Chain A
Amino acid sequence: MSRASARYFSRHPWQFGLTLLGIALGVSVVTAVELASQSARRAFELSSEAVLGRTSHQIVGGTVGIPEQVYVKLRMTLGHLPAAPIIEAPVRSDDTNKVSLSLFGVDPLTEPNFRAYLSTAADAQAQATLLLQPMAAALSKSTAARLRLKPGDALTLMVNGRRVELPLALLLSPASELQRQGLENVVLTDLSTAQEVLGNAGYLTRIDLRVPQGERGLSVLNQLRELIPAGARLIDTASRTRASGQMTRAFELNLLMLGLLALVVGMFLIFNAMSFSVIQRRPLIGRLRVLGATRREVFFLVLGEAAVFGLVGTVAGLLAGALLAQELLVLVTRTINDLYFSLEVSKLSLSPAILIKSLLLGVLGALVAAVLPAIEAAGAPPRLALQRHELERRGRKLLPAVSAAGGVCLVFALIAMALPGGSLSVAFAALFFIMFGFALLAPGVMVLALKLSRPVAAAAGGDLASLALRGVGKHMSRTGVAVAALMVAVATTVGVAVMVDSFRHSVIDWLGLMLRADMYISVPGSGNVRSMAPETIRRVRETQGVAEVSLGRRIFLESELGEVEALAIEMAEKSYAGFRIVSENPERAWAEFEDENAVLMSEPVVWRSGIDAGSTIALLTQEGWVRFKVGGIFRDYSTDRGIVLMSRATFIRYWKDDGITTIGVYASPGIDLSALRQRLDVAASGDQALLINDAASIRELSLKVFDRTFTITNVLRLLSVIIAFVGILSALMAIQLELGREFAVLRALGLTRAQLFGIAEAQTGVLGLVAGFLALPLGVLLALMLVKVINRRSFGWGMSFEVDPALLFNALVLSLSAALLAGLYPAYRIAVTSPAEVLREE
């Protein structure tokens, strides 16, 4: 029996191929997404592991860092405690590639207590080099190779807007993979060199500590707490690493969802292919039954085939997935770099867990998809030939049940959404129920639509047109599945496109609102960057044509929620309009903001912490922990970690720091902006390079980053359309094979090749249109879910929901053209097949 099935597939190689392709595509997309995000996560873990080393606690904090004296005091009182002073800051290479690097200033004497990499160069020599040679830097071999540097060359960096040259004194050869990853893109220097580079003399970024466990550790911690000044904070590093890892969780979740969508479409494809192969062999199976094969045997024959398909397809999919993951990894890392922190991932980490998961997914997917067809096959009566229309009649009998199941799915989805306190996973469950519901409803809707459009078609195109339409309806068991698969794929693209588009519109609105000033002057870089010289600020204020300025300071502060980004701002008259308060009573919020030290928070903070307008948030100030009233909530898309806004007066009062990092320049009415810009260039020049941007270019840049973030989304969308395309192709090939005889008769009756081609293409066109029209409501529903539920629940962002009719129109065109394109080859085959040959096979 298995020989009969092997021979069947060798006689229909395209069907064999398309089935495998379907499984392989589905598996590869899911695998690739998993691999890429896991590799990124793994790289993050490795680098934090390598950077943290054996650190158990850290002293962090302060706006400029921790005064060196703290370390000195610590050495004196707790001399036995392993402690390492660290300076860390993001920098960029000043070559054409502008590589993100991490400047890491250490004390070579204390480092070996925490991290082993220095021992990789001959110990004494490494320490001596870093200590003795002024401004010396060390890089790992691979990083140096990437930057095309060899020992003795100068490494040029952009730091806080200044160019710095460091001679490359030493190459480190990491002893392990972990070390290698950890040292990737790290510029290692001595403490004093780092301080000089950053212009931050006398300050450390943090002090790494190794506090012993147990009783003794507790007393050490108590001593430490007394030591650290107000404004600094002792943290448990394990918990901190976890928090950073979580930042990307939401992003990963979105990726995973897209991967799963691809799998769902892939499953359709497998189901499609398996059921085709069974239905096509009904006569063969009937004959086997006559010869004495039991239902069980037939059932397991089909399942066995599915298992073989699943296995072969999955293995192919895994290989393709690994390749695809390399590409996705670039996109994933880029997004993480744009949005979160600088991360260098040079290698895919192939964890066995992912491989096993994908293997199960593919094989089980194929088996599950084959169960229904197998049951169908086993139910075949032992007859020599079962007529096709008999089968289709049965299919039509099933139709109400299938449609009802679809309705039930939708009801489930409604229930899941109405569930109180719904979590993200419940939202995803609802999303999938909606998709399955629509998919199950698709064949029924298709049959209905065909019935309704038949008189129109007959009137417009005559019997040939209605012949084409009926062919679609008649072979519902194939066309229905194909339409469902295409619909899901197109709806996904609609859903994601509308979501991204809504998001983009919201971002554009927000940028337009936020960018009130005509020109912005800022210190380049991220993190706790050096503030501007007071002299610069004065010069800018006094520049001719400057009506007013707003002064801002972006900084990371310790809060009860961990590190939060804060913006301390001295508003200009027009600045207020730049913030959209979404909580109640904006006037009062502003009043409290100005007069009562209240802070405003952006939506993600509220979502993350549950702290809402009216309650308080504790921040670590120069005077220690202080609780600030939350005056209101505002909308901000600049970071999904959220941001705390306070007045500059409040900031100076509690942090004793009047530095600023941005100036918003409001021009006097009627001033020529390009001339103003030139004057500002002069005013802002000094030893620190400052960025001067007009509102339009900031807006442009922000949107560019935004679009980059969603590149990966587009790639995945495209993949799911390709999968659906393969699905349609296989459905049409099956139909073509089956209808060969009918088409041959039509040829004998005098239809030309062109007419046959036309009929075949009209049929696929109808499939594409039905799928496209069905995809619109589903897609909009998906988008609504993504915007109002998923994004809210995973990021805390509120956004407006907008449906651009052009997007919907594009989706229709996509669906129609995918179907027509997929139909080309089958239609061509129909047209060129010699009727004499087909008619001969009686």
Chain B
Amino acid sequence: MGKALNEIALIELSGIFKTYREGEARRTIFDGLDARFEKGEFVCITGRSGSGKSTLLNLISGIDLPDKGEVHVDGDDITRLSDRERTLVRRRRIGFVFQFFNLIPTLNVEENLRLPLELNAKKGSTWDQRVAELLHKVGLSDRASSAPENLSGGEQQRVAIARALVHRPDLLLADEPTGNLDQQTGRVVLELLSSMTRETGATLLMVTHSSEATAHADRVMRIRDGCLEAVPKGA
């Protein structure tokens, strides 16, 4: 669809090899994986446990590095960057949502939201408004000064989504965001995640097992035998 307009994909992986040491032996996770994710897409990634879904997200975010291959973010190969430069790319362009929420326990809800802004030196009343607006959207305006430990799992995940989007990243990576929530709550979180990402025009890569999630997605991909393959919608 938008392919014609954007020559450069947001994320492009090519020829990715990734192995892990396990004692003496080596375990191959990716064996020449190629992938392309466009701007504004919502892609679900599935696969058996241990197939390398989390590893894929880590490679894209630059938290982990491939043994071989290139990871392009907006045309730049981040595997060639220094750790610091990769971190700066991550800080500016990427938002994270984890299975276990991972809010910073020593910061309250509002401060957790502010953290990415602070890192990107985004200050001023427009950003204050943005924090308030996101809190409102995730329905937690009244919990701004609560400590994360006092929130329920679903509430924590809603804060995490707001935190992931507050600095307007180009890419949102979500690793089983509903994996730790009951179905009802999971549905709410999923709804929020997809609607809010679409609103900001960011790309959303979501690792999930839930068919409900895949129903929302533009595309569904599956990792199998170290490669990424498309799954026909509805399958």
- Which residues of A are at the interface with B, using a C-beta cutoff of 8 A? 387-389, 462-464, 466-467, 470-471, 474, 741-742, 745-754, 834-836, 839-840, 842
Contacts and interface: CB of A to CB of B under 8 A. Distances in A.
26 contacts: A387-B149, A389-B149, A462-B118, A463-B107, A463-B111, A463-B114, A463-B115, A464-B118, A470-B107, A741-B102, A745-B98, A745-B102, A746-B104, A748-B102, A750-B88, A750-B91, A750-B119, A751-B91, A752-B83, A752-B87, A754-B84, A834-B63, A839-B58, A839-B98, A839-B102, A842-B99
Contacts of A751: 87, 91, 119
B107 to A, nearest CB: 6
Given A835-B63, A836-B64, A842-B99, A752 B84 contact: yes
A474 B106 contact: yes
Nearest to A756: B87
B90 interface: yes
By secondary structure, the A interface counts as: helix
Given A470-B107, A741-B102, A836-B63, A749 B83 contact: no
Contacts of A749: 90-91, 96, 115-116, 119, 163
The size bracket of the interface on B is: 20 to 34
Given A463-B111, A470-B106, 4 more contacts: A474-B106, A748-B96, A834-B63, A836-B63
Q: Which of B96, B102, B120 is the most central at the interface, judged by chain A CB atoms within 10 Å of its CB?
A: B102
B205 to A, nearest CB: 14
A751 B92 CA distance: 11
Contacts of A835: 63
B116 to A, nearest CB: 6
A689 B220 CA distance: 105
B49 to A, nearest CB: 12
A829 to B, nearest CB: 15
Nearest to A741: B102
B87 A747 contact: yes
Contacts of B84: 752-754
Interface in B48-103: 54-55, 58, 61, 63-64, 83-84, 87-88, 90-92, 94, 96, 98-100, 102
Contacts of B94: 750
Contacts of B98: 745, 839
B168 to A, nearest CB: 14
A463 B163 CA distance: 14
B139 interface: no
A752 B94 CA distance: 14
A741 B102 CA distance: 8
Q: Sort A-B residue pairs by CB-CB distance and give the 7 closest, nearest first.
A: A750-B91, A470-B106, A836-B64, A745-B102, A752-B87, A836-B58, A389-B149
Nearest to A469: B106
A467 B99 CA distance: 23
Contact of B105 (A474, A840, A842): A474
Contacts of A466: 111
B63 A748 contact: yes
B61 A748 contact: yes
Contacts of B119: 749-751
Contacts of A748: 61, 63, 90, 96, 102
Contacts of B99: 842
A474 B115 CA distance: 18
Nearest to A840: B54
Contacts of A474: 105-106
A84 to B, nearest CB: 81
B140 to A, nearest CB: 18
A195 B205 CA distance: 104
Contacts of A746: 104
A166 B43 CA distance: 103
B111 A753 contact: no
A463 B88 contact: no
B118 A463 contact: yes
Nearest to B150: A389
A446 to B, nearest CB: 15
Interface string B112-140: 00111011100000000000000000000
A474 B91 CA distance: 26
B118 A750 contact: no
B87 A467 contact: no
Contacts of B63: 747-748, 834-836, 839
A747 B120 CA distance: 14
A62 B14 CA distance: 105
Contacts of B107: 463, 467, 470
Interface string B4-36: 000000000000000000000000000000000
A604 B88 CA distance: 71
Nearest to A837: B64
Contacts of B111: 463, 466-467
Nearest to B90: A750
Contact of A842 (B58, B100, B116): B100
B87 A750 contact: yes
B79 to A, nearest CB: 14
A388 B102 CA distance: 14
A544 B114 CA distance: 88
A751 B83 CA distance: 11
Interface string B142-163: 0000000100000000000001
A840 B102 CA distance: 12
Contacts of B104: 467, 742, 745-746
A667 B50 CA distance: 97
Contacts of A754: 84
Q: Which of A470, A741, A747, A842 is the most central at the interface, judged by chain B CB atoms within 10 Å of its CB?
A: A842
A751 to B, nearest CB: 7
Contacts of B83: 752-753
Contacts of B118: 462-464
A731 to B, nearest CB: 17
B87 A742 contact: no
A745 B116 CA distance: 12
Q: Which of A463, A753, A840 is the most central at the interface, judged by chain B CB atoms within 10 Å of its CB?
A: A463
Contacts of A387: 149
Contacts of B106: 467, 470-471, 474, 742
A279 to B, nearest CB: 16
B61 A752 contact: no
A834 B105 contact: no
A749 B115 CA distance: 9
Nearest to B95: A749
Contacts of A750: 87-88, 90-92, 94, 116, 119-120
Contacts of A839: 54, 58, 63, 98, 102
A389 B55 CA distance: 30
A471 B149 CA distance: 15
A839 B99 CA distance: 10
B1 to A, nearest CB: 30
A741 B106 CA distance: 13
Contacts of A752: 83-84, 87-88
A457 B90 CA distance: 27
Contacts of A462: 118
B169 to A, nearest CB: 10
B54 A742 contact: no
B199 to A, nearest CB: 21
A747 B119 CA distance: 11
Q: Which of A464, A748, A842 is the most central at the interface, judged by chain B CB atoms within 10 Å of its CB?
A: A748
Contacts of A463: 107, 111, 114-115, 118
Contacts of A742: 104-106
A424 B168 CA distance: 71
Q: Which of B90, B104, B118, B149 is the most central at the interface, judged by chain A CB atoms within 10 Å of its CB?
A: B104
Contacts of B87: 747, 750-753
Nearest to B92: A750
Contacts of B91: 749-751
Contacts of B115: 463, 467, 749
Contacts of B102: 741, 745, 748, 839
Contacts of B58: 836, 839
Contacts of A753: 83-84, 87
A736 B114 CA distance: 24
